[in-house]
Structures are given as structure tokens and as C-alpha cells.
Homo-oligomer: A and B are copies of this chain.
Amino acid sequence: MLRISCEELSDTLTRVLLKLGFEQARAETCARLFTETTCDGIYSHGIDWFPRFVKMVCNGSIDVGASPVFATKFGALERWDGRRGPGNLNAYECMARAIALSRENGVGCIALANTNHWMRGGTYGWQAADAGVIGICWTNTMANLPPWGSTEPRLGNNPLVIAIPRSNGHVVLDMAMSQFSYGALASYRMRSELLPVEGGFDTQGQLTRDPAAIEESQRPLPIGYWKGSGLSLTLDMMAAMLSAGHATHQIPTDKLRETGLSQVFLAFDVSAFGSAETSAKSAEQIIEFVQAATRTSGSENIRYPGERTLQTRAENRSLGIPVEPALWDEIQKM
């Protein structure tokens, strides 16, 4: 495994994006978002995703020159059209707009239609928390998860992000509605490991910890069984109905043609109440109380969502980001 600096990764990706026709500033932001995701240890949605992103630019699924345009508004609820621009730039711009709305209205909601995969959803949670506001966002996806009671993928895994600003490290939850992503299943399989808990059904309809059996059956498990199935459905309905965009059933089920997604970005700004200190203290006390709980034997720590990200970020900034030599070769030759 190579270790490369964040700067080198960012510069390299910027160069490739410029070649693909991105404007300078947009290339730099897009490269920065890919780099930050990678630096935070979410390799699957960072550098590992980049070749897929490039293919989707080349096959016309992503329009490098398109940015979201305002469609209509009603108070603090706005609809935007993503025009199939790069998913991370679109999402970043829409969360920025939700934050701005929350500074005027306490709460702001942007519903974005016609966009592309946002890569790491957590990015827009960190963005909100860095701006000092509470952020919630989610996306729909192509059908990749069977509803409870079915063997056929007809729901998206529709990642949901909730971010809360905190001076000692933001709390950022970033979770898909499937217990394990296909990326995670592949990682366990390649390491010849069983999943830590049951992650889906095998082709016989039995719950299993064998990642290969789930890849074969295409039946990953929704979190909480029927509960995650229902949550995924309602997130898709809200995304499509708030944005007037596509629902999961209208999104092509081809990894390289998965476009026309719908997303929702919510921001809440309580700073106008003048209770920033009370709010910060409340966050601190909640984390302290939870982390002081009696641990299970063998448990190192009770982590809050986002805690491990900060550790990985610090490590990768200091040591460089670990990159597969073959992937790095491929990207450098682009």
C-alpha cells in the first residue's frame, strides 16, 4: 500500500477533472471533496469511486458543466434542479443553500431533483456542522434492497445523514438502510471473513453471515428488518415528492447509469436563540453520559458517530492516505 499526501491526491484528481472539461474552480472543489472523503477513511466513496465517476462523465450520465438551478420556492422550502451535474458538487451547493436558508428562517429545506450519486453523504453533514448548524440529508438510489417480505431489490439503500455541531468533534451519522453495503460485503469476502452479524439471506432464504452468499442472493438485510425497509420507503417517497424528482423505481439499475436521483437537505440554526453555550453544553453532557456506560467485555470504547472519522483523518493527514498501487497507477494515467 502506498501512502500519498492529501495535496498530491487533490492535485492529481484536479488535473484529471480539468482534462474531463471541468472549470478550474469546480475541478478543485470536486477534487477536494473526493480527497476529504478518502482522507476520512471512506475509501469506497473516495478514491475507489473515482474511476466509476470518470466513466459516468465519459458515458454522459454526469454533465461536468451543469450546476443546480433554482426551480421554485415556498417560504423556507425550495426545489432545485440538479441538471445531472456532478453529484458531490450539486449536493455541496444545495447543503450550502439549506444552511443559508436556516440562517434566515431557523430551518431551511432544499429538495434537489435530477442529480447524481453524492458519493459520501457524510460530507454534507460535516459541511453543516462546520457551519455551526444541525444538518439532515438523504438521497434515494437505484433499487438495491428487497423490501421486507420480498426476494427482489425494489428499494434503494437510501443513505441518511444527521450531523450535530460540537466543539470537541462533530457528531455525524452517515448510514445506509442496508446493514452492509455491497462494498462492505466484498471487503469481508476478500478477507475471507464472516460478517460480525447477520447481513442478509442466502439463496435458500436463511439469514447468514456469509458475505458471498448475500452477494449471490442479492438479498442484503435492511437495518432492523421490517423497520429499515419501511424507513427506506418513506425516505424515497419524501425525496421524490418534495423535489418533484424521480423515485427509486425510475432510476436505472446499472451502476454506470444510476442517474436522476432525488435528495433532501435540511439545516437548523438555533444560534439566533442566543443559547449557543447551553446547546454546546447539552451536546457535551449527552456524549459524556453515553460514553461512560459500562462496556461489554472486549469493547474498547463506546464511539459516537463520526468519532472514528476524526481519528482516521488525523492519521491520514500525518502519514499520508493509503492507496492501492494499481489504482493509483490507473488514476495517474488518466
Contacts and interface: CB of A to CB of B under 8 A. Distances in A.
A107 to B, nearest CB: 5
B293 A152 contact: yes
Contacts of A179: 224-225, 227
A332 B168 CA distance: 55
Q: How many copies does the complex hold?
A: 2
Interface residues of A, number: 83
Contact of A290 (B74, B233, B292, B301): B233
A277 B112 CA distance: 19
A248 B75 contact: no
Contacts of A205: 296-297
7 contacts: A75-B107, A77-B270, A149-B295, A162-B238, A175-B224, A179-B224, A242-B270
Nearest to A79: B273
A98 to B, nearest CB: 10
A107 B76 contact: yes
Interface stretch (A3-11, A89-97, A278-286): A278-286
Interface string A226-256: 0110110111111011101001110000000
A305 interface: yes
Given A105-B75, A286-B240, A230 B173 contact: yes
A273 B146 CA distance: 33
A77 B108 CA distance: 9
